[in-house]
Amino acid sequence: MNQVTLHNDSIYQVKVPLPFPLRWVNSYLIRGSSGYTVIDPGLHTEAAVQYWDSVLQSLQIGYQDIEQVVLTHHHPDHYGLTGWFQERSGAPVRLSSAGAEQVRRLWGTGQPMTSGVLELFRRHGLPDELGTTMREHMDSFVPMVSPQPELSVLTIGDDLRLGDRMYETVHTPGHAFGHVCFYQKDQRHMFCGDQVIPQISPNVSYLPGGIDENPLASFLRSLKELSVYDVAQAYPGHREPFGTFNSRIQELLAHHESRLQVMYSLLEDQPLTAYQVCRATFGERLSLHQLRFALSETLAHLIYLREVGRLQETESGGVITYGPADGDGSQSNPIEENRTAT
């Protein structure tokens, strides 16, 4: 793959390697008159460190030339190298306040989120033996987000200078709590993180702790709010930059409408756990990494259907199953049905 591509004279797309099926995450290096901005530097692995050293050397950029590191969201594949960059550059690391809170919950003292996620999964049907190995898998990410940076908070709605241009900070929760995009009105550019990605659907996960009680509703609402922006070029967190931003939004809305109908149809004849719905929807041949995201996404869809009155939960023996709500024989579009809420 072509690892570094220059766009629009000042934006370098840097494909930072990942040890996952996605293969790389897009980081963006934006040139300005006073230095460089790094957006989403990637996961902290030895391969990524060697890669960044090579890229910056080839571009004749020193770490002291990095004036800020800016994040669209807190997920490890975007956030992991921020502390490493800060140690070498002294640059501030900017993240939304909601994203900063998630960092504390995920990788702060005692990693309180991990136990909560595993208990959530157990209550929704995950077998105990998978829970044990999943804890080990989640714990394995700690070195890949270390060291932790000192964070500076991004203010939603404010303008932020990236390079020599001002960008609007747009709040787009759903894929991640506190996710933001950056929009440049004159050039009609949008750095969209993982909110809008070409060819693949961003993961939408339900997580415990009252963070976002209906993340799919948040994701759909964010898509609709983004659809009013005039975007000539979008710079996503994965895959290639693209110019069909608004049509891609419509494709994602249609995808989730279809996914909701598929999951609802699985439950019409018998109640199932979220784990059973996940396996029926995404298949049995998932890696542990893929299963974690697939089960979280299944929960996001089932909770959405519950919130619009299509499904109901039943708990027995500490395990939750889902089935059609009493009296629900509706064939209506669940996304349209909840339009006022999303």
Which domains are seen in the chain, by residue range?
4-117+143-253 (3.60.15.10)
Distance CA 104, CA 48 (A): 24
**Per-residue confidence (pLDDT) for residue 326, from 0 to 100:** 86
Q: Is the pLDDT of residue 211 over 90?
A: no
Q: Is the pLDDT of residue 240 over 50?
A: yes
- Chain segment 106-122, per-residue pLDDT in tens: 887 667 788 899 999 99
**Per-residue confidence (pLDDT) for residue 336, from 0 to 100:** 58
Q: How far is CA 63 from CA 29, 36, 69, in A?
A: 12, 9, 11
Average pLDDT for residues 59-74, to the nearest whole number? 98
pLDDT-based confidence at residue 160 (cuts at 50, 70, 90) = very high
Q: Is the pLDDT of residue 157 over 60?
A: yes
pLDDT-based confidence at residue 125 (cuts at 50, 70, 90) = very high
Percent of the chain with pLDDT over 70: 94
Q: Is the pLDDT of residue 335 over 80?
A: no
Count each helix (H run) and each strand (E run) in the chain, helices first.
Answer: 11, 14
- Chain segment 272-281, per-residue pLDDT in tens: 999 999 999 9
* Concatenated DSSP letters of 25-69: EEEEEEEETTEEEEE------HHHHHHHHHHHHHTT--GGGEEEE
* Concatenated DSSP letters of 225-285: HHTTS--SEEEESSS--BS-HHHHHHHHHHHHHHHHHHHHHHTSSS-B-HHHHHHHHH-S-
pLDDT-based confidence at residue 341 (cuts at 50, 70, 90) = very low
Determine the 3-state secondary structure of 158 from DSSP.
Answer: coil
**Per-residue confidence (pLDDT) for residue 329, from 0 to 100:** 56
- Chain segment 7-27, per-residue pLDDT in tens: 999 999 999 999 988 899 999
Mark 304-333 as b/e (b = at least 16 C-beta within 10 Å).
Answer: bbebbebbbeeeeeeebbbbbbeebeeeee
> What's the whole-number average pLDDT of the chain?
94
Residue 213 is classified by DSSP as S
Residue 184 CB neighbours (<10 A) = 20
Average pLDDT for residues 200-213, to the nearest whole number? 93
Average pLDDT for residues 194-204, to the nearest whole number? 98
**Per-residue confidence (pLDDT) for residue 338, from 0 to 100:** 47
In 3D, which of 306, 228, 291 has the Cα closest to residue 260?
306
* Concatenated DSSP letters of 168-203: EEEE--SSSTT-EEEEETTTTEEEEETTS-SSSPPP
pLDDT-based confidence at residue 339 (cuts at 50, 70, 90) = very low
In 3D, which of 233, 276, 298, 341 has the Cα closest to residue 125?
276
Please work out, in degrees rounded to the nearest 5, the angle formed at the alpha carbon of residue 310 by the alpha carbons of 309 and 316: 95
Distance CA 260, CA 251 (A): 14
- List phi, psi (to 5°) of 212: -150, 110
Q: How far is CA 144 from CA 18, 37, 76, 102, 161, in A?
A: 11, 22, 7, 16, 28
- Name the least confident of 122-131, 207-216, 230-239: 207-216
Report residue 171 as tokens.
């709040």
Residue 157 CB neighbours (<10 A) = 10
Q: What is the dihedral of CA 70, 295, 242, 235, to 10 degrees?
A: 0
Q: Is the pLDDT of residue 342 over 70?
A: no
Q: Is the pLDDT of residue 254 over 90?
A: yes
Distance CA 106, CA 110 (A): 9
Q: Is the pLDDT of residue 71 over 50?
A: yes
Residue 23 is classified by DSSP as -
